[in-house]
Amino acid sequence: MLSDQALAAIAAERRKYPADQARSALLAALRIAQEEHGWLPTELIEEVAQVLEIPSIQAFEVATFYTMYDLKPVGKHKLCVCGSVSCFLNGSDDILAHLQKRLGIGIGETTADGLFTLQEVECLGACKDAPVLHLGDQYLERLTPEGIDALIEQLRGGSSDVR
């Protein structure tokens, strides 16, 4: 499933680490695979493991640990709401509930129009501005239900610059 380009990129990552430590290149290799394919089906994870010559289960462990790896197809916008302690104490549950209601999907699901995926993730390291949401390469902080509504409208309107 991997293109020659992706294989070359993985090989380049592989060369950064000692010969007997292929596992070190796994994070990068999975990222390259996901960037190319959009998400990580089982066969792709297995292929990455084969390319790096490590047991499939090792690649599977890493792919299931990090929420930035998608094991299912995701929508255009992946809304990752932090549920760790600071955000939790500042109402992340309300934010998640509000999002579920507005989008009509549960956590881990994607809207029928393929626009939104909702996820709950672990600490994003922005506790001072809790509750926090992570979207693409942007952080949205001090979330409120009203702010969420505005965000959804904006994204539906076709803009992805939400800063």
Partner 1 sequence: MPHIEIDGRELDVAAGTTILEAARQLGIYIPVFCYHPKLSIAANCRMCLVDVEKQWKPLPACATPCADGMKIQTRSAKAKAAQQGVLEFLLINHPLDCPVCDQGGECPLQDITMGYANPHSFYQEEKRVVADKDIGPLIATEMTRCIQCTRCVRFGQEIAGVMELGVVGRGEKEAISTYVSKAVSSELSGNMIDLCPVGALTSKPFRYKARSWELKHTPSLCPHCSTGCNTDVQSLGKDVLRVLPRANESVNEEWICDKGRFAYAGLSAEDRGLTPLLRVNGRLQAASWGEALQAAAGGLESVVRKHGPEAIAALISPESSNEELFLFQALFRALGVTHIEHRLRQTDFRADAAMPLYPALNMSLEDLERERTILLCHAFPREQQPLTNHRLRKAALAGATIYAIDTVLRPFNFPVQGLCPETGDDLGTYRRLEELLQGATARAEEGALARLATALRETEDPLLLIGNDALQHPQAAELLRAIQGVATAAGARLGWLANAGNAAGAWLLGCVPHRRPGGETVPGQRTPSWSTAHKAFVLYGVEPEYDSLAVEAAQQALQEAEFVLALGHFTGNLPEQVQVFLPLASWAESAGSFINNEGRLQSYRAAVKPAGEARPGWKVLRVLADHLGVAGLAFNDLDEVQSAWQGALGDFPLDVPAFAAFPELAPEAAAPLPEGHLRLLGDWTIYTADPLVRRAAPLRRPAVCRMHPQDLQARGLGSVIELRRAGRPVVTLPVQADASVPRGCLWLPLGTAESVALGGLQSSCTVGRASSRQAI
Nearest to 110 by CA among 133, 78, 137: 78
Spatial contact of 127 and 114, defined as CB atoms under 8 Å apart: no
What is the CA angle 144-148-152, rounded to 5?
175
Question: With respect to partner 1, which residue has the nearer C-beta, 20 or 137?
Answer: 20
Q: What is the DSSP letter of 144?
A: -
Residue from the set 18, 19, 65, 106 that interacts with partner 1 by CB under 8 A: 65
Helix, strand, coil percentages (3-state) for the chain, rounded to 5, are: 50, 10, 40
67 part of the interface to partner 1, by CB under 8 A: yes
86 part of the interface to partner 1, by CB under 8 A: no
Question: With respect to partner 1, which residue has the nearer C-beta, 122 or 153?
Answer: 122
Spatial contact of 23 and 58, defined as CB atoms under 8 Å apart: yes
61 part of the interface to partner 1, by CB under 8 A: yes
Residue from the set 55, 104, 125, 136 that interacts with partner 1 by CB under 8 A: 55
Stretch that binds partner 1, among 3-11, 51-59, 93-101, 152-160 (CB under 8 A): 51-59
42 part of the interface to partner 1, by CB under 8 A: yes
Question: With respect to partner 1, which residue has the nearer C-beta, 113 or 122?
Answer: 122
- Which residues from 122-161 bind partner 1, rule CB under 8 A? 122
Nearest to 74 by CA among 33, 119, 32: 119
Residue from the set 17, 27, 39, 60 that interacts with partner 1 by CB under 8 A: 60
Retrieve residue 99's tokens: 């999002």
Q: What does the buried/exposed string (b/e) look like for 16-35 if buried means 16 or more CB atoms within 10 Å of the residue's CB?
A: eeeeeebbebbebbbbbbbe
Residue from the set 64, 138, 154, 160 that interacts with partner 1 by CB under 8 A: 64
CB of 48 to partner 1, least distance (A): 13
Q: Please report, as ranges, the residues that interact with partner 1 according to CB under 8 A.
A: 42, 46, 55-58, 60-61, 64-67, 122
